[in-house]
Amino acid sequence: MAIGALVHQSSAAEQVLVPLHQKGCKITMGAGITLPIPTLRHALLLVANRRASSRILKPIAVERIQRAWVKHLEKRTATAQIKAALALEQASAAVILQSAWRRYLAVTAKRIEEEAMRAAQAVLIEKRKAAAVSIQSCVRGQGQRRLYHRRLAEINGPLARIQAAFRGWAARKQLKVTRRAANRIASTWRRVRCQVLRARLARAANALRQGGKLAKYRKHHGKRNHERHERFAWVSEDLQCFLWAPAADQAHRKLRSIPMSSITAVTDGVKTPLLKKMEHRATETHRHIPFSHKKPLAIDESCAFSIICRERVVDFYAADLKSRNAWLRDLRTVLSHAHTYDHKAAMAAVQRLTAESAAKASDSDTDED
């Protein structure tokens, strides 16, 4: 089988290779054979048919091995050359790629630098434009302000005079209106006040002229009995004298009086020395009075009042608080306001208002000051 396989494989190789001869071989040289060396196929057929020994295959095998080795060397050389050429191509391609990449990087960096420079120039241009616009606006604003100040300086004087004149006119007008209103209010208030005072004075004068009963404390020098006695007190028609007399004395033989002009004050309550003395006497229950069997009269502070003059003090005691307040109110009204009116005019007003206040005489004691 091996010989048959070699026979079939040797046909193609024999057409290319030239046989190698060994001169010392017994078969080829020693025998003097002049025929050419059999081919491998022929040798294999001879060995297969047993027409020749298998030794004839050794030179053929050596030749084929040599040829195969040469072929192998050629193939390896070709492969090495191909690899070297491929490596050279790869190296050149790598160099080309590296140079292309470096060129790309250089171009990209240059483009980026150019774009950055263009952007910086654009920013610089924008800043310069903004600065120019700001400078122009500042210059225009400064010019407008100068023009405004110049025009304001031109019209400031007349405008100030106009404003001052208007403010003065408005202030004078307001002052005039205010004064007019104040005068009207003051005149109205004075008129109303005068009317009220006239009415109060008329009522007080009418009540004082009519008079009333009061208890008067007596002040006897050298005597101990100072108890109060009932008196009838009134004021003269011209409101110039305050008079009193015993209540039982219709003819007024024991008439006493004090000028109204000498009265300095009218006080309520227990404030004079005589009233305090009588109050102290009334409160001493253990004290014995040998010359009198009467018990001292009690004093209610809300019913007592005093008329203080420049020369003397007259103490009175009313029946109740209402009567005391009516006397105090009428006396203070007459003493405070009677001198502010003309006596004749006041008398005429009193006479005129007496008729009007006659119907209200019953309510005059209830009015408050």
Cα distance between residue 369 and residue 367, in whole Å: 7
pLDDT by residue (tens digit) across 224-281? Answer: 556 788 889 999 888 888 998 888 766 667 788 888 888 888 988 888 888 888 888 8
Q: Mapping DSSP to helix (H, G, I), strand (E, B) and coil, where does residue 212 land?
A: strand
Cα distance between residue 317 and residue 268, in whole Å: 10
Tokens of 151: 């025009």
Domain 211-366 - what CATH class?
Answer: mainly beta
- When comparing pLDDT for 216 and 15, which is higher? 216
Cα distance between residue 286 and residue 105, in whole Å: 138
Res. 368 pLDDT band, cuts 50 70 90: very low
Res. 14 pLDDT band, cuts 50 70 90: very low
pLDDT by residue (tens digit) across 141-168? Answer: 999 999 988 888 888 888 888 888 888 8
Q: What is the pLDDT of residue 112?
A: 93
Q: Where are the domains of the chain?
A: 211-366
Q: Are 266 and 329 in contact (CB under 8 A)?
A: no
**Average model confidence (pLDDT) for the chain?**
78
> Which of these, 242, 213, 219, 368, lies nearest to 307 by C-alpha position?
242
pLDDT by residue (tens digit) across 58-67? Answer: 776 767 777 8
